[in-house]
Amino acid sequence: MTTPAPWTKTKTTALLVLADGTVIEGVGAGATGAVEAEVCFNTAITGYQEILTDPSYAGQIVTFTFPHIGNVGANDDDVETLDMEKTGGVAGAIFKEPVTDPSNYRSASHFNDWMTSRGIIALHGIDTRALTAHIRETGLANAVIAHEPSGEFDIDALKKRAANWSGLEGTDLAPGVTSSAQNEWSQKPWVWDEGYSDTDGKAHHIVAMDFGVKRNILRLFAGLDCKVTVVPASTSADDILALKPDGIFLSNGPGDPAATGDYAVPAIQGFIESGLPIFGICLGHQMLALALGGKTVKMHQGHHGANHPVKDHTTGKVEIVSMNHGFAVDGESLPAGVEETHISLFDGTNCGLRVTGKPVFGVQHHPEASPGPQDSHYLFRRFVNLIRQTKGEAALAESA
């Protein structure tokens, strides 16, 4: 079926073609062209630039449920992709309303121009509530998003592309977003009216395995006076341990954790055997579970937003957190000696684990809060405290 655009005077210059044959007409924005990807929806009302540069969204088209996008423009400070020259992030974006003109003192460019420069194909003018309901009812959808200013499309060819795309299951996307070489990170979190500053990073040495790491994660480590070394996703355990880290961080990233785990899990198992403190976020958390003997599963609609309630069983507290994942750890699969520490209060899915008697833990959500609430910032201090404990140092307060 074809869903007509909900207006009468603006011609169709973009299409979203779902694998089930549904064709949704819209008005194009951003880059031109066509690309296959998985369609999800995000419920955040702020942080659209951070969302679209989160490498964990590689291979996906983000539908924003918040209708007005673009009002704060775009700037380099809010990019989350580690390599500023890499586009990274999403394949496409969908909005209800046309991209708005910027009205913010931090804006350096119009959001539409920024999307074009990063190769993000977008469309607007559709009923995003209806599309969101469709995803909730039928699951994450494979699709093609296409933008052609002439409005001329080969719809049959686009339907075939959407139907034939293999999807994200079984796909390792980390090679497309990871660092090309080892590098050091020193930038600390942004401060109002001051911007970013650097740390000497003398207290502890953290090596971050980059499966698509976000900048604000690294900033929070630097803000705790840590030296941070970022290494490509395929780096071996021996090469990482040769750097003499005090702790290992397993980053977020896109794709199927089981596929990336083919080469990452053996390295993670080596880290566990070393006795070093380990902290995983999102994809890193999922692969940590695989390394410990657990399983991961593809989710029906995934979790994408900045308003997700998660309970920390270790403190009894409920946090509002940022989420971005279409795969999850099967909590029932965790073996003896691995404790489930966090759960989603939306659907009860696993959101955290730790190993009994070892300084090893991970969380599914994004505690770096970029964008989103800062309820989970304590997890970075929790990790540093594990490092301090193994070095015989006094612990930091978890909240500061």
Catalytic residue positions, numbered: 282, 366, 368
Q: If you ran DSSP here, which 8-state letter would residue 62 be given?
A: E
Q: How many residues does the chain have?
A: 400
Nearest by Cα to 55 from 183, 297, 217? 217
Q: Which residues contact 140 (CB under 8 A, 6 or more apart)?
A: 38, 39, 40, 299, 300, 301, 302, 326
C-alpha–C-alpha distance, residues 303 and 287, integer Å: 18
The secondary structure of the chain in percent helix, strand, coil, rounded to multiples of 5, reads 25, 30, 45
User: Angle, nearest 10°, between helix axes 378-390 and 215-222?
Assistant: 50
Give me 367's structure tokens: 């505690």
34: phi then psi, degrees, rounded to nearest 5: -150, 145
C-alpha–C-alpha distance, residues 160 and 213, integer Å: 33
Which amino acid is it at 149? Answer: P
Give me 368's structure tokens: 């770096």
Which amino acid is it at 313? Answer: H
Neighbours of 169 (CB within 10 A): 13
Cα atoms in the 13 Å half-sphere on the side-chain side of 234: 10
Nearest by Cα to 62 from 44, 80, 81, 87? 44
